[in-house]
A and B are shown apart, each in its own frame.
Chain A
Amino acid sequence: MASGIRLEKLRKSFGATEVIKGIDMEIEPGEFVVLVGPSGCGKSTLLNLIAGLETATGGAIRIGGKLVNDVPPRDRDIAMVFQSYALYPTKTVRDNITFGMQTRRIPKDNQQAALEEFSQLLQIDHLLDRKPGQLSGGQRQRVAMGRALVRKPEVFLFDEPLSNLDAKLRISMRTEIKKLHQRLGKTIVYVTHDQIEAMTLATRIAVMDNGHIRQFAPPADIYENPVDLFVAGFMGSPPMNMLPGVLCRNGAALAVQPKGTGLRFPLPRPLADRVTLQDGDQVVLGLRPESIFAAETELPGENRFVFEEAVEVVEPTGPDTMIVFDIGGTEMIARVRPEDARPEGTRFRFEVDMTKAKLFTPDTGQAM
């Protein structure tokens, strides 16, 4: 049975700078929670607080219902995988993996059994007599995971474990970590700045910024219903287009008119109903690149809006081609099929699926 983690009004200051500013969070047993955010948002500090490598300035940390604020890392029933792998350079892979069991005086037979089980699972059983210096990056990563797994703790903490791997290896390790979670069912808290890692791995994502949690929700929710401009801008690659404009009447319906243009993006019903602002108020219209495509290339649907702009830059990525264009001074990106792309300078007819549009108030950044 895995343990849950509960953070209550957790605070951490380094000198005068407050890094964690009162975080409340409830992580269910067996959940895979990813902490994501830009550099310096406090995500690694939060992980270190859970690990016990930093002491909380205020608030409470509970693991499996037990208050652990003053419990040292060794007694928290956690294991951690570090960004730098932090393998012991003078020890063999075998000793690296069993060190935690040695310090806990676990009988040799049990150590051996655990070592065999996980070195086979991670396919490092042929490397046991090597030193970390003789391993490749991916192999070191596996050893670091083996060291964490072998003790069978209730909670695993991962601190950007894949950021030092090359792109291909990162994707395969990502899948392996997800498989491991499904297989072991332990609680995992995973820190990354890579939003694709966050989306693919998490059962719930906590988007952090400046010591706060902006949104804590399942990946699809974070992507589809971001609570504010920060979350909307952080998740998604290329990021969501943020088009500043004013609210206006377009016949019976509401629309958004981007600044300095005559375009009017009509708001679909459910969204328009939630708008509490008046005509002429400032808003930010959020459009994901994939909701803008070449006109008449998709089956017709409701709430489509077609407009024409000049293509400024064409960026092929392989499966899709990004087209950069400009609306009233705001740079926009559309994701079109490669065969629909047109060269720079040509006029291009774009179609927007307005049902996917988001609307934000510019001053607070909150979603409507």
Chain B
Amino acid sequence: MRQRRTSGIVQPKGLRSVLMRMGLFAVLGLFCLYYLLPLVVMVSTSLKSLAEIREGTLLSLPQAITFDAWAKAWDSACVGVRCDGLKPFMWNSIAMAVPAVILSTTLGAINGYALTKWRFPGADWIFALILFGAFIPFQVVLLPMARTLGQLGLAGTVPGLILVHTVYGLAFTTLFFRNFFVSVSDGILQAAKVDGAGFFGIFFRIVLPMSIPAIVVTVIWQFTQIWNDFLFGVAFTIGDSNPVTVALNNVVNTSTGVKEYNVDMAAAIIAALPTMLVYVVAGAYFVRGLSAGAVKG
């Protein structure tokens, strides 16, 4: 490993700077606590039994740790009339998010590549129009999209939701890739053209391997957006094809019986786990991609 970049830097010494430093860390620690508190409450509540929740306070830690709530949230909590837990809906979300992320990222990369490296008259206009899509609120496209899905016979299905997310995500993915490719030297593309590669040859063999950082950013962004989406999910799917966000809502907002806070919390964490996982896994690649680019040249 390389030495840390800060290790050799001359820094001021003395009481004043020590105090400043302590103050700085105190403030940072405070903010850290502030942001972590909701997660702590969620995790601790999900590990308590219902009786303990009724007796204790919100912030008290679980006395006897139990995973019953997690098990129930996963495969026996009632979502509407069906009591199979979140499990089937997790699969819905995965079946929706994975293809939608792959499609929107791939198409966005090709768009960005064509708009920057194979410029044609009106390219800037087309980019401006695509970019416009990034500023259209979800709610505005609900009705036209519902019509479109109906016409295509995809209403109420997971493939329909994939289409919606792919189309809606294109504005963002195109923007990300375009901005990345602008910084890729045209000389490299010229060299590849002289070397005999064509549009897709250059794209797949030269440009895409260089774009790992952009791909990772886009995948994190798209996956988070698509996985966490509630509005399109609730509007364009029904019952068994609901994504997990809609199912979570149905678990938490159930109006019958006792309110099972521990199950609600466990369900919420389960629904959020994949995005965290993607961030942790892809985030490592992201940092690696950045430092690979940081090498001179």
Contacts and interface: CB of A to CB of B under 8 A. Distances in A.
Interface stretch (B68-76, B147-155, B182-190): B182-190
A88 to B, nearest CB: 5
Contacts of A83: 187
Nearest to A54: B190
B194 interface: yes
- DSSP majority for the B interface? helix
B276 interface: no
A207 to B, nearest CB: 25
A89 B297 contact: yes
For chain B, which range describes its interface: under 10, 10 to 19, 20 to 34, or 35 or more residues? 20 to 34
Contact of A53 (B193, B201, B209, B292): B193
A48 B209 CA distance: 26
Given A86-B187, A89-B210, A104 B297 contact: no
B258 to A, nearest CB: 58
A84 interface: yes
Interface in A82-101: 82-91, 99-100
Interface in A209-260: none
Contacts, number: 72
B197 interface: yes
A86 B191 contact: yes
Interface in B254-297: 292, 295-297
B83 to A, nearest CB: 51
A52 B194 CA distance: 8
Nearest to A82: B187
A132 B193 contact: no
B185 A84 contact: yes
Contacts of B55: none
Interface in A62-82: 72-74, 78-80, 82
Contact of B192 (A72, A88, A132): A88
B204 to A, nearest CB: 12
B196 interface: yes
A53 B206 contact: no
A320 to B, nearest CB: 37
Interface residues of A, number: 30
B296 A103 contact: no
A3 to B, nearest CB: 16
A166 to B, nearest CB: 15
B117 to A, nearest CB: 12
Interface string B131-142: 000000000000
Nearest to B188: A86
A147 B196 CA distance: 12
A100 B195 CA distance: 4
Contact of A104 (B191, B196, B210): B196
B297 A133 contact: yes
Contacts of B205: 99
Contacts of B195: 74, 99-100, 103, 147
Interface of A: 48, 51-53, 72-74, 78-80, 82-91, 99-100, 103-104, 132-135, 140, 147
Interface of B: 185, 187-188, 190-197, 201, 205-206, 209-210, 292, 295-297
19 contacts: A48-B190, A51-B194, A52-B193, A53-B190, A53-B194, A74-B193, A74-B194, A78-B194, A79-B194, A80-B190, A80-B194, A82-B187, A86-B185, A88-B191, A88-B210, A91-B206, A99-B197, A103-B195, A140-B297
